[in-house]
Amino acid sequence: MQNNYVFIKIPSYSTNESFARAAVAAFCSSLNPTIEEISDIKTAVSEAVTNAIIHGYEDEVGDIEIQCRIKGQMVEIIIEDFGCGIVNVEKAKEPLFTTKPELERSGMGFAVMETFMDELIVLSEKDVGTKVIMRKTINSRK
């Protein structure tokens, strides 16, 4: 499958976290990923969508846009919210950093995305929103 893509738009309800990761996993299945690869993608997507819900929109409901694109054996996943944005992206990416310890946040979301995907880019602007771009090359099962 060459240059296939999908676009999903969901409201920031936490119940949509599982839908988002399942939908992206289903889209990526055409690359014949291993169970570990698909698990990595689901985890990374879950982290990005959860961040958008908890940190991007906090107590409000807004749109989360998910774009997935397959380029050869590489999948690119873009998860974007239009919420409060991140003032200091580098600080937010530090493992164990969280602005919401009272919610039992582990502060590991970006660290998980970085570990489980090949590439992570976080673009954010205060009061505009956050765009997370993740890429992973799938080594198809033989």
Residue type, 74: M
- CA-based nearest residue to 135, from 31, 52, 13, 18: 31
Active-site residue, from 4, 32, 65, 105: 105
Does 16 interact with another protein (rule: CB under 8 A)?
Answer: yes
Q: Is 51 tagged catalytic? A: yes
Nearer to another protein, 48 or 70 (CB): 48
First vs last C-alpha separation in the chain: 17
Q: Is 141 a catalytic residue?
A: no
CB of 128 to another protein, least distance (A): 23
DSSP annotation of 128: T
Q: What is the DSSP letter of 9?
A: E
* 47 lines the binding site for another protein (CB under 8 A): yes
Residue of 60, 104, 127, 142 that binds another protein (CB under 8 A): 104
Q: Residues near 74 by Cβ (< 8 Å), separated by ≥ 6? A: 135, 136, 137, 138
Q: Applying CB under 8 A, does 73 fall inside the site for another protein?
A: no
At 37, the amino acid letter reads: E
Query: Do residues 137 and 94 make contact, with C-beta atoms less than 8 angstroms apart?
Result: no
Nearer to another protein, 91 or 126 (CB): 91
Active site residue 3: no
- What are the catalytic residues? 47, 51, 105
Task: Give contact residues for another protein (rule: CB under 8 A).
Answer: 13-19, 21-22, 35-36, 39, 42-43, 46-47, 50, 53-54, 103-109, 111-112, 115
